Amino acid sequence: MNDRTEYIAGLRKLATWLEENPTVRISSDERFLVPLHTNTAVEEFAAQHNLAVVTDNEGNKSTQMTFGPITYYAYGYVDFAQHVADRNERDARKWAAEKGLELREAEVTA
């Protein structure tokens, strides 16, 4: 079995288990998040499935389809590497601020 086949089998087992155990809680997030990493990949996916594409204020694109109360939400970025770098910097600055520290540019000597 390949990874995709195993994943789908796992989803089916989860659905069966949830159906057989009606008293257990289900996820509070009804979004099934699928990172496609690039805007181009989002556009291609949306075109294949006749879906609308939404662009956020940073130029990142997403599309979605619903299955009852569950949303399959695919998203991408203008520049994924830059997005990751920006997120890492925000996280580092937040951590530093929580510790009473401040991050600043390193001094470069020749």
Q: What is the pLDDT of residue 102?
A: 87
Total domains present in the chain: 1
Domain-located, residue 5 = no
The answer to whether residue 16 is domain-embedded is no
Read off the tokens for 88.
Answer: 């890492």
90-110 pLDDT, tens digit each: 999 999 999 998 888 888 887
Question: Is there a domain that residue 23 lies in?
Answer: no
Q: What are 28-78's pLDDT values in tens digits?
A: 788 999 999 899 999 999 999 999 999 999 899 999 999 988 999 999 998
What is the domain extent for residue 74? 28-98
Per-residue pLDDT band at 85 (split at 50, 70, 90)? confident
Question: Tokens representing 89?
Answer: 């910097």
Does 110 fall in a domain?
Answer: no
Q: Which residue has the higher pLDDT, 55 or 86?
A: 55
Region 13-40: what's the mean pLDDT?
A: 91
Determine whether 57 is exposed, middle or buried from the number of CB atoms within 10 Å of its CB (0-12, 13-18, 19+): exposed
